Every structure is written in C-alpha cells, then in structure tokens.
Chain A
Amino acid sequence: FCGLLLTTAKYNLKLKTSTWELRRVNFRKSRSQNISAHKRFTELLEKHEKEQIDARVPIGRIITLPELKSNPFKERICQVFSTSEQKDGSLTFEDFLDLLSAFSDSATLEIKSHYAFRIFDFDDDGTLDCADLEKLVNCLTGETNDAKLSSTEMKQLISNILEESDIDKDGTVNLSEFQHVISRSPDFVSSFKIVL
C-alpha cells in the first residue's frame, strides 16, 4: 500500500508539472480531465511497467480502449501519434495526451486537419493518392458486403474526389488541398472529436 502511495505520489508530481506545462501549451480542458486521462492510461499498464516513468504501451493494448475499439482507424491513429523508434504504434503517456488533445474541443481546425490528413494517409507518403482514398472509403463503409462500394462506383468516387479537390492536378491530394477542403466543411470540427 505504501508502495502504491509512493508511486501515485511520484506520478502526481510528474503529472502536476506535465499538466501545468500541457495546459499552457495545449490548453486542454481541466486538470481533472488530465488526471482521468492518466488514470485510464495506467489501467493499460502492466504491474511492472507502472514503476517506470516513461512506460510505453504497445498498440495491442491501446486499441482495447472503449473509445477506440470499434473505430476502423484505430491502428492509424496509434501509428500517427506514436513516437517510438521502431514505428510499432506504441504510445507513452505524453503521446496519449497528444492524441487526446488533438481530438479535444480546444484543438484548432489546423491541428485537427493536420492529424486527420496523417491518419488518412495509409502509406505515409505525404499525399493521398488513389490507393489511400480507396482504403479510406473501404474503412468508412465497413466490412459488410452490401454497404461496400462496387469497383465502378469506387473508381467514379475517387475520380470525382480528385476532380473536386486536386487543384494542381497531379493526381494526389496533398496537405494544403486537404486543408482547403476541410476549411469549407463545417461539420469536421464536431465530428473529429473523442471524449474520454
């Protein structure tokens, strides 16, 4: 019990400094919500990892969170916010807070569109080309066969999207073009949100 107290005290101290810093930098919501984020994060840690300060949670455990479990983009989200060297999608607590703050109410449209672009860029090459768009649409429509688009519909959809949003006509949608589309769609900010 004393050990638990000690570790919680240690974490609280670290949390105090980090949340104070975070609030100044990201202006996420209240300290109590940062603490609840920390609570949810430590639930994912193993016993021996709770002692470490910079513990990393592997992707397999992150996607068991109820907020991410049914989301078709969960692996991409973990990949985008992960700062690990091996690019395996594991998150530290700071990465986790990054994730929550990008999906929070107080994140600006610029930050949200930036991260949305990275999430939709499945092959990580800096643009959304045909294959990325196809994967995106398949994620949106789900896995059941009747909702999926046929190949002709998919081709037509992708060509329509490129026609509407590819301004420099290079066959891909880059970040600026993506942000240009998003700035005109008012529903984006309210739908790109995760609440803990």
Chain B
Amino acid sequence: MVQEEACSLPLPPGPLMTKSESVLSPVRLSVRSPADEEGVHDSFQQLIAEHRDNGAASSALELQQLQSDLDEENRDNMPLSGPEHEHRRRQGASDLECDGGEREMDPIQGEGWSSDTLKILSSMPSRTIGRNRGAIISQYCNKTLKLRRRRQTRPSIRDFSPSSRPSIRSYGMEGDTTDAEVSKRERLVNNLQNLPVSDRVRMLRGMPLSVAEKKEIRHVARSHRFFCVLFMFASWYSWLSFLHSLQPWQTLLKRVSGRFGTGVLSYFLFLKTLVFFNVFLFLVTGAFLVLPQAVHPPYRDTTSFSGLELLTGAGSFSHTVMYYGYYANYTLPRRSRDEGGGQNASTLTSDSQQFSYNMPLAYFFTIGMAFFITCIILVYSMSKTFGRSFRINKSNSILTMKTFSCWDFKVIKKKSVQIMSENIGTQLKELLAELTQKHTKSTFCKRFCRLMVHGVAWTICIASTTGCMAGVYYFSEFIHKVRLDGLSSPVCHKAKLLSLPTVVSVINLLLPALFNLVGWMETYESPSVFAYVAIGRNLMLKMSMLGVLCFHWLGRVCWEDFVGQELYRFLLMDFIFTLLDTLFGELLWRLFSEKVLKRKRKPVFDIARNVLDLIYGQTLAWLGVLFSPVLPVVQILKLFLVFYIKMSSVMLNCQAPRKPYRASQMTTIFITLLCIPSLLGASVCVTYTMWSITPSTSCGPFRTLDTMFKAGKHWMEILEKDNPSLSVLSKAHTYFVENPFFLFVGAGIFLIVIYFHSQVVDGQRKIISLLQDQIQNEGEDKKFLINRLQSVHKQKQDAGKRLKSQVNKPQSTKHRNFKPVWIKLEY
C-alpha cells in the first residue's frame, strides 16, 4: 500500500487493455475517475516517463488498431478512463449551453482533443489534489513540513558535517531523511512524529482521509515518549464529551432544526445561552450571598404568606433573602443565633472576626465580580462570532455563496425540504433579477421621494417613542402619589402595584407593531437593511423605556427594596405578556387565517422580535441583581417555561421564515446586542449606583456608608492597618485607577493598536487582489501548455497518417479515409 502513492512502475499494457475493453459501456459506476489510485499520478514527470517507456508498445498497438472501423477521424472515442468519455458526451450535449457563457473565457475543454491530452488534464494536481489518497498525503506532507519549519529552532552548525552546503545548514529537516527515495507517506509520518503533540493532533484531525487510514498513520506516528501526554489528552477529551452529552434539550432542538432549519434553531440556542449565563450568576450570588445570609437570619418576620406575593413580589417576600433590604451590614460571626444583633463592623471582637464573613464587602465584590466575568465571557464570544461572519474580502460573490452553502442538511422532514427547495428557487430567481437590474439608476425625484418617506417614518417612530416615555414617566409619578395617599383594600393596592409593569409591557407589545406598519410603506434596497432598521427601532424603544424607569426609581425610602420589587414585577409581566402574545399572535392567528382567510400558509415565526424580547428580559434581570440577588432564579424559571411554550407553539402553529435568514450574521448581531446595550447599560447603572448614590439608611448591607464603594475602601484601610506592606496596593490604586491621566494614556495606546491592525488588513486586501491576478496568469499558462500539447499531438498524428498513407498506398486504394492514429497510455 505504501508503494501505491510513489507509483513509479509502469504497468504492462496487455492485461489492462482487455480489462478496459470489457468496461467500455458508459456505465457510470464502472467509470474510472481521478479518485482511482491506479489511474492518477501526482507528478507530471511520471506521466512523461511512462509515455516514453510505453512508446514502443503503443506504436505497435496503433498499427493493430488501423484495421478497425471508426466513424469520425477527430473523435478518440475509445476511452480507457471514463472522464474523457464523459467529457466527449457532455461536450456535444452541453456545447450550446456552455458556449454562451464561456466564450470570453476560452474554456480549456476544447473540441477534438486527444485522449491523452484529456487524461493529462484530468490528472493535473489542481484536479486531483482533493481526490485521491496519494495527493492528500502529499499535500499534508508539505503542510506538516512547513509547520515543522516554523516550530523547530535552528540546529547548531556543530550537528552538520562540514561538507554540507551553507544553504542546507539552516534547514534541520533535510538531515533526517538520508534516503532520497523514501515515500511520501513515510515522510508524512516522520514529520508528524517530530511535531509537538497538540499540532500533531490538530493536523490529524484536519486531514480529509477515511478513519482506517488515519488510524494507521496515527498508530505509526505515535511515539511512546508522549504516551502519557496522549493519555492526558484523551482523558481531557472524554471529560469534554461527557459535558457535551449532558446538554439539555438535544432531541427537542433536533426536531426543531429538522422542521424549520437553522434560523428558528438560532433563537432556541440563544435562549439556551441566556439560561447558562443566569445559572452562572445564580451560582455565584447563591454561594456567596444567599447562603451565608440564609444561615444567619438577622430577624424573624411575622407576615404570613398569601398567594398574591408571587405576583407582586412584595408582602411577605420583602423580608426574605430575596431583597437587598434583608442583608446584614455587619460581619456575620460563625456561630451566632442572636437575632437582634445590630452591631457594626468596628465593634466586633477580634477572635470572632477570624471566622466571620463580612457581608457588605461580600455583597459589593460578588456583584462586581459577577458582572466583570459575564462581561469578559460575552466580549470573548462576541469577538469569536464577529471573526466568523465578517471577512476581510467582502466581495460580491453572493450568488456563488448562496448556491454552495444554502442547502441546510439538518432539515429532514419531507414537507420542510419541499418548502426549503421552493424558497431557494425563489431566492435565486430574485437575486438573478436584482443583478440584471442593477444598472438602472433612479432619478433625482424618485430618490427625493424615498428620502421624504424615510424621514416621515423615522419622525413617527421617534415621536411615538418620546410620547410613550413621557406617558410612562407621568403615569409612574401618578401611581406613586396615589399609593402614598389613601389606601383602599389590599387587592386594589396590589393592583396599583402591577399597573406600571402592565402599561410598559403593553407599550412594548404594541409599538413594534406600529413600527412594522410604518416600515411597510417604505422601500428598502435589500431585505436585510429592513431587518436591521426594524431591530434598531425596537431597541431604541426598549432602552428608552428602561432609561425612564431607572430615572424614576431613584430617591425613595429604602428604595433598593422597592426597585428590586419593581424589577421582579416587570419580569413577571414580561413573561405573562410573552404567553399572551404566543397565544394570540401565533395560535389564534393561525386558526383565523386557516378558517376565515382560507390561506394555506401558517404564520411565520418572527425570530428577530422574539430574540429582542429575550434580550429585554435579560437586561431587566441584570439590572435587578444588585437589588435582588435571587432574581436570576426567577429568570431561569421564566426562561425554562418560555422555552417549552415557544417550542410547542412553533411546532403547532408556525412555519419557517420565507426570507433568506443569514443565521451566523444574525447570531453575531444578537450577541453584540446582548453585550453592548444590554450588559453595558446594566453595568453602567450598577456602577453608577455603587459609586455615587447614597444607600438608604434604614435597610441593606450598606446602610451606614456614604456609597457602596466605601465598603471596599473601608476594608482596604483595615488591611493596611494590619499589614503596612499592603499600602503599595492602595497607592497603586490611587495613582492608577482613580487618576484620569492614566486612563487617557491607556485609551490612546488602544487606539494606536487598532489603527495598526486596520492598516494590516488593508495591506492584506491588496495582496489578495495581486494573488488573484497571478492565479489568472497561471491559468493562461496552463491553457497555453495544453494547447501546445494538443498541437504537438496533432502534428504527430498527421505525420503518422502521412506515413501510413505512403505505406498503404500500394495495398488498398479503396480506403479514402485514413484511420486516425491513437496514442494510448496504458497503465
């Protein structure tokens, strides 16, 4: 098997000739393709050598073939390998089709080419590089060699014999193989053995060979030195695969993707991501805040539990670990059962301080760290998806990319496959129509009209948003005043509490529908621009709502508790409205359109709007973590329920979106939206609260301090008193973190680095266009050489004909048509 790739032995023509004759019939399965190992070489030299070797034998064959009857002179229709035969047949059939498009390109499949020319053409490395094992192995041999060159350091001169040439001394690898005829496969194995383990593993993984071959290569390449390292790798991967198998909802997600494709699946995957973020948040706050405080309750509460607490979040819930006001502002001692303890941190004795838990500090640092780590994870995933979906050379090969990558292999239901095929057909037709019509330039009047319409639409949107903002603000003031005034029955009181969240949720539901209506009357250049504009308007609405509410909430007595409760109510209302929207928007609309409007198509699942709703809910949760550490649990429960409700609704009521959905670009946008307005906004609010706002004096862990941040400073001062060497840290903090000059310098360096990277990207773009020109020139070279080969063959043919005619003249004068001479290359 090792010899096959090197393949330098010309096989005798005799037996193969008979074999190929028996396989003459153009049955596709018996046709030889470049994937056949025997039929392909990986170097042109071998081809020429074989032709030379077989020259004598083949001319004998020519004389034999002279007697057989052929129809046309120019056709070499006695193929030995299938591709040429197929070429010929297709040539005749599809000539008309391809001619039109390829005339200016001067295609390389000319007419009347000999079989050997076509054979050479089909054996060229560019056509076999991905096909047979030999070519793949030789390609990876080169790759591993390059990798070794990069990884290996220069060997010292001492290791070389003095007679070796200076140019060889700088390449350490050539010293390895003294035997010049070692085969490519052994060289590949040798290269793999000398690579570090991680590179070897990566190379093996990327090779498009079958499993059996990879097993053999790996088996040979493995050296016992690294056995234990490999074992560690194996156990690490088995741990990863165990984690992967723990993934929830696998079968459900598979069903969704089987019916609807990647677009709808991305919504559910986004939901899953949010669940993981909330689980992380809950673990952190639960372990560091809720658990210690729950074990040491500061006081007992006597209000009883009535069912209404689940809706309002107030009542008996407000004196539990759920809210900020419950948390102690002193250091929790280890075994303390007294409930009336209201001691401040400074009065605790030293021995109880050793086992104690400083609650204010813990609160401050836990929330800060949780946000910081979430920020890092989000920015990292954002940069990864950004890199995947936005490339350097964003050229306009949309049609090609669509043709090659639009088929979604995950869709398995027959009906869905039919719908997908129809969609693809429609999209291709639309794209083609767009491309042909690109040249019409719109008149000035038309453009002006379009701009006017856009202006009107945007004015309507901004005006409605501002109006709603003002309305919400005044309504909340009104509600607050009513609450402080006379109180009617408790139920009415609770209803007043829920009124503001209801109003905000109604606005969040109705206004996007208005924006959609407004968007219909506008015309956009492409549907993706329309999608982005719709997302932008929706986002503007939601962020302004949240901004107004944040502004309204500051300045109450024990306002943190109140804010926490409000956020809980908002989350709950959001969930209830999602339920209602699913019910009315999807179920009832489908029934309505089927029965009343008699339409065959079900309503479309609006992915963008649903994802924005999820982002809005997550922003609420992040805003509320500071004031209610148990809020992530509520969010997790809500997400679980939303998952199952949306899943069943989608399966029953909806169909896949008709417009082309570019899943990875939209995922990038959603993760970016989760990071930039959502997490960043929440972090800014929380940071502002911690930094500058005075905590309320009657409740919570920071009640004696000026700002929450002072808890950290306080702790630093205590540490400094105990260990004077740590004063370096506090000096560093004063000079670096609080000094604006350092921040300016840091930002300046960042900008310079970004500028350099953008210059590098520009340079790479130029290089790409240069390389494309070079490849085009190489293509011209190739065509030239093939044409020359063909003309040489023709000359030989004519010379042979003339020779034969001189030989045959005395014998037979009947034959006017002289049989063409074939040159067969037998393998």
Q: Which residues of A contact B (CB under 8 A)?
A: 20-27, 29-33, 66-67, 69-73, 83, 86-88, 94-95, 97-98, 101-103, 108, 110-111, 114-118, 120, 123-127, 129-131, 133-134, 136-137, 140-142, 144, 146-149, 151, 153-162, 164-172, 174-176, 178, 181-188, 190-195
Contact = CB atoms under 8 A, between A and B. Distances in A.
B238 interface: yes
B422 A162 contact: no
Interface in B26-58: 28-31, 33-35
A182 B406 contact: no
Given A24-B218, A26-B214, A147 B422 contact: yes
Nearest to B207: A111
A148 B425 contact: yes
B122 A130 contact: no
Interface of B: 28-31, 33-35, 83, 86-87, 90, 94, 97-98, 100-102, 105-109, 122, 126-131, 204-208, 210-212, 214-215, 218, 230, 234, 237-238, 241-242, 244-245, 254, 257, 262, 388-389, 391, 393-397, 399-401, 403-414, 417-418, 421-422, 424-426, 428-429, 432, 435-436, 662-665, 772, 775-776, 778-780, 782-783
A125 B212 contact: no
B237 to A, nearest CB: 6
A102 to B, nearest CB: 8
B101 A159 contact: yes
Contacts of A157: 399, 403, 428, 432
B648 to A, nearest CB: 21
A48 B98 CA distance: 50
Given A33-B245, A170-B107, A114 B779 contact: no
14 contacts: A29-B245, A71-B409, A116-B404, A117-B130, A126-B33, A131-B94, A140-B407, A142-B425, A156-B101, A159-B102, A160-B399, A174-B126, A181-B404, A182-B401
B424 A195 contact: no
Contact of B665 (A27, A111, A186): A186
Chain A contact surface mostly: helix
Contacts of B395: 164, 184
A14 to B, nearest CB: 13
Contacts of A87: 29-30
Given A160-B432, A190-B262, 11 more contacts: A21-B215, A71-B417, A110-B206, A142-B417, A142-B418, A144-B421, A144-B422, A164-B400, A171-B105, A188-B404, A191-B262
A38 to B, nearest CB: 14
Contacts of B242: 30
Given A22-B211, A126-B128, A176-B129, A70 B399 contact: no
A159 to B, nearest CB: 3
A182 B405 contact: yes
A191 B405 contact: yes
Which among A124, A126, A165, A186 has the highest number of chain B CB atoms within 10 Å? A126
Contacts of A190: 262, 663-664
Which among B238, B404, B435, B665 has the highest number of chain A CB atoms within 10 Å? B404
B208 A181 contact: no
Contacts of A83: 210, 212
Contact of B101 (A27, A162, A186): A162
Contacts of B388: 186
Given A30-B245, A127-B127, A176-B129, A184 B86 contact: no
B211 A170 contact: no
A170 B87 CA distance: 15
Contact of B410 (A31, A147, A185, A195): A195
A94 B403 contact: no
Given A69-B412, A125-B86, A153 B429 contact: yes
Contact of A144 (B83, B414, B418): B418
A23 B432 CA distance: 44
B212 A94 contact: yes
A157 B434 CA distance: 12
B406 A98 contact: no
Contacts of A144: 418, 421-422
A110 B28 CA distance: 28
A152 to B, nearest CB: 10
A126 B127 contact: yes
Given A83-B210, A164-B400, A171-B105, A149 B429 contact: yes
Contacts of B100: 155, 159
Contacts of A21: 211, 215, 218
Given A32-B245, A117-B130, A181-B404, A110 B101 contact: no
B95 to A, nearest CB: 10
A25 B663 contact: no
Contact of A187 (B126, B405, B424): B405
Contacts of A151: 97
Given A186-B664, A191-B407, A125 B241 contact: no
Contact of A141 (B107, B424, B779): B424
Contacts of B254: 195
A126 B122 contact: yes
A124 to B, nearest CB: 4
A170 B122 CA distance: 13
A166 B780 CA distance: 13
Nearest to B202: A108
A124 B405 contact: no
10 closest residue pairs by CB, A with B: A168-B779, A142-B421, A159-B101, A126-B127, A147-B425, A171-B107, A141-B425, A30-B241, A124-B33, A188-B405
Contacts of A146: 422, 425
A164 B403 CA distance: 12
Nearest to A125: B83
A70 B414 contact: yes
A193 B234 contact: no
Given A32-B245, A141-B425, A192-B409, A166 B401 contact: no
A29 B122 contact: no
A125 B238 contact: no
Given A124-B33, A130-B97, A134-B97, A170 B425 contact: no
A22 B438 CA distance: 51
Contacts of B127: 125-127, 174-175
